Amino acid sequence: MTQTFRTHSAEETIEVGAQLSALLPARGLVLLIGNLGAGKTTLTKGIARARGAAAEEEVSSPTFTLIHEYGEPALVYHIDLYRLDEASEVASLGLDEIMNRDALVVIEWGERFPELWPEERWEIRIEAVDEDQRVIEVRGLSKK
């Protein structure tokens, strides 16, 4: 089942993220798929806020730090694999262990390493239609 949303501002995308939070499981893997600047980090702000894990402004791009952890204990892991080139580099981050925790694991640029992920995951595709418009498609690849 695919659900589609259309947003016209970053704020609307944050709200879609907050709505999606209710649809997504407490724990599990979410791949955020979309070009540079599509709105992957923006959407994560809404997810983290709705889970009570972090305020919007506390959610920033993990481009350099690779892994951000929101909540105490962690409810949402926010990971960005943009700067990694090899699956072996990704493996060294210890994501297997993180994916076993009781938390939602949200990964930007995860589609670059398809062999690493369990079949049971969610995929959220964000496409920039123009400067401010985004189409967001959500697909659960197995039951919740």
Binding residues for ligand ATP, per CB under 6 A? Answer: 7-10, 12-13, 34, 36-42, 61, 108, 132, 134
Strand positions, DSSP E, 1-144: 2-7, 28-33, 67-70, 76-80, 104-108, 122-128, 134-140
- Using the contact rule CB under 5 A, the part of the chain among 14-22, 34-42, 99-107, 130-138 near Mg ion is 34-42
60 is a site residue for Mg ion (CB under 5 A): no
Instruction: Compute, in degrees rounded to 10, the torsion defined by CA atoms 103, 76, 49, 141.
Output: -70
Which tokens belong to 76?
A: 């949402």
Q: Which of 40, 45, 49, 121 binds Mg ion (CB under 5 A)?
A: 40
The footprint of Mg ion (CB under 5 A) covers 40-41, 61, 108
